[in-house]
Structure 1
Amino acid sequence: MSDTPGPVTSDDVRVAVASCSSALGGALDADWSVPADGLTWSCWDTAEHLADDLFAYAAQFGPARPPLDGHVPFTCVSKTPGGPAASVFADPQAGPAGLVQVIETCGTFLAAVVATTPPEARAFHGLGIADPEGFAAMGIVEAVVHTGDIARALGLEFEPPAEVCARVLYRLFPDAPADGEPWPTLLWATGRGELPGRARLDSWRWHCEPRA
């Protein structure tokens, strides 16, 4: 994996979300009420959560003055006991196919915002003030790792594009090893797997501030 794989772009958001929707589209007849792998949330709630993150990250650059001290104040609620709080939900009547459409749509929102927001813009995230590239990278991580959680629970094969994972790792996880395959390394960096000589992480965080 190159030390400098290049910036995370709006195209990367589109490609990553397309890989997620393609994989999840293979389970439209599955039981999405089962827990996602490693989580207490159902696969349905986990998919809504990843869609909501894509939407929320786009929303941070919506105001004329993007907020630096908090989130844009959309109402955020949990619709199921113990489930994730969100502003975006899919109509259950539309089934998994509709839920996948919601994910695709929210991904398009984030890609469009990243493409049209000046790179010097900054907005609030709970782990630091980030630029559009940072929000693109965070959105990709939410999309691919949670799609992985769902895929493992539903018996699906899923592996997002390696080059996108490499750019996200470089942008958000500067301490991650740079000599392995990007997707397993991203799973390790988010507490979802082991690497040779490296145990599973008990806790993790990304660094969303622009790299120096």
Structure 2
Amino acid sequence: MLRRPGPVTPQDVRHAVDLCSDALRGAVDTDWTVPAGDLTWSCRETAEHLADDLFAYAGQLGPRRPPLDTHVPFAWARTSPDAPALSVSGDPAAGAAGLVEVIEACGTFLWAVASAVAPETRAHHVFGLSDPEGFAAMGVVETLVHTHDIGRGLGFAWTPPPQLCARALYRLFPEAPADTDPWATLLWATGRGELPGHPRLETWRWYSAPRA
């Protein structure tokens, strides 16, 4: 089991989104219609999915009495049968640079809400009833791994700080190995790579419930 490296904080969300934004802004003039890594979604669809996740996690914590058994009922839609379901999307006329702004805005929403609500707040997630730290950790993981996916599609290499990865791993992946590189381990835990002695995962999940 991983030794606790420190809690995931709202500031970690802001840091992860800043790193994502810096990386994506260097590639706004490339073709975002190509697949994002091994995903079936394009880089643009993956970026919209990331923004939508950050928005949804903020929204889940936001009601006066957050729902404990279902999602906050934002409307969502798909642009095609294979596209991600979205409540938030970017204006195509604003291009990739505009979509990066949408990611930044939604990251700020999650940072602000996770900072504002009481630590004992609980809200529904399909992988377990979670708290503000858990939703912050989910936002960090979504940001890190989808920046990786988009980077693979657009042709840039990207490695986030190991301690940021380690905090998110501890919070959401209690069965992850403790003696491997945190970033490589996070990619393995989300089905994106192999580790020595640990074959690539065909299915994966995280555990949103607060750690004991």
TM-score if structure 2 supplies the norm length?
Answer: 0.98
Q: Are 2:88 and 1:88 equivalent residues in the alignment?
A: yes
Distance 1:105 1:131 in 2: 21
Distance 2:157 2:202 in 1: 25
Q: Offset at 1:26?
A: 1.0
Q: Counterpart in 2 of 1:31?
A: 31
Distance 1:13 1:184 in 2: 20
Q: Counterpart in 2 of 1:56?
A: 56
Q: What RMSD over aligned residues (CA atoms) do the two structures have, in Å?
A: 1.1
Q: Counterpart in 1 of 2:118?
A: 118
Q: Where do 5+ consecutive residues of structure 2 fail to align?
A: none
Q: Counterpart in 2 of 1:178?
A: 178
SS in 2 for 1:130: coil
SS in 2 for 1:128: coil
Distance 2:34 2:118 in 1: 41
Q: Where do 5+ consecutive residues of structure 1 fail to align?
A: none
| The 10-residue stretch of structure 1 (73-82 or 119-128) with the greater mean CA deviation from structure 2 | 73-82
Structure in which a larger fraction of residues adopt strand = 1
SS in 1 for 2:129: strand
Distance 1:210 1:108 in 2: 23
Q: Counterpart in 1 of 2:5?
A: 5
Distance 1:2 1:65 in 2: 33
Runs of 4+ deviating beyond 6 Å: none
User: Any conservation in 2 of the 1:54–1:106 contact (CA below 8 Å)?
Assistant: yes
Distance 2:48 2:122 in 1: 26
Q: Offset at 1:162?
A: 1.2
Distance 2:163 2:2 in 1: 10
Q: Offset at 1:40?
A: 0.8
Distance 1:198 1:62 in 2: 38
Q: Offset at 1:2?
A: 6.7
User: Any conservation in 1 of the 2:20–2:144 contact (CA below 8 Å)?
Assistant: yes
Q: Counterpart in 1 of 2:163?
A: 163
Q: Letter of the aligned partner of 1:105 in structure 2?
A: A
